Amino acid sequence: MGRFKNIEIKGVLIEDFGKMFFSSLNEAIKKSNLSEEEALKKIAPKFKELLSSYEESVSTLYLDKHKFNLDSFLKTNFRNQKNIANAHKDFFVAFILYVNGCYNVYEKIIDKLRKKRIDSTLKMTVALYGLVIRRSDEIVNQLLSGYTDGAM
């Protein structure tokens, strides 16, 4: 972390997390009928564990109360992909047909080679060909999602 180890950004996920934590801690101390010093002495050895538990409960609360809608996200994502595909229809049709044709050839090669004994060089070549086809499919998906840099 170097020079950035002391950077603290508050309220990124939950506003006033620190205030909430210390407020809860103070309330627990008040309800314990211990003096503040006694409570702090008891808490000190387990403070990191206590803080971790509190963070976990806040994370769980955040996950339980989120407003994220997966169906809406997917609908928007698909609409964006469709717009990109329609804007470059000829390219996508040609490229996807090429990748699909390569995949069909690969499947036939695999089917024929299952019945034969082949050397390890040919096995490696066929495996690499399958990997290239998989990467081509990933490139199509990245381009459809607008990630031209990632596709390159």
- By the 8 A CB rule, do 140 and 96 touch? yes
Between the alpha carbon of residue 40 and those of residues 33, 43, 53, the distances in Å are 13, 5, 17
Report the Cα 64 to chain-centroid distance in Å: 18
Residue 120 has pLDDT above 60, yes or no: yes
pLDDT in tens, 34-80: 887 888 788 788 778 877 787 787 778 778 877 889 999 999 999 99
- By the 8 A CB rule, do 103 and 133 touch? yes
Provide the whole-model pTM.
0.56
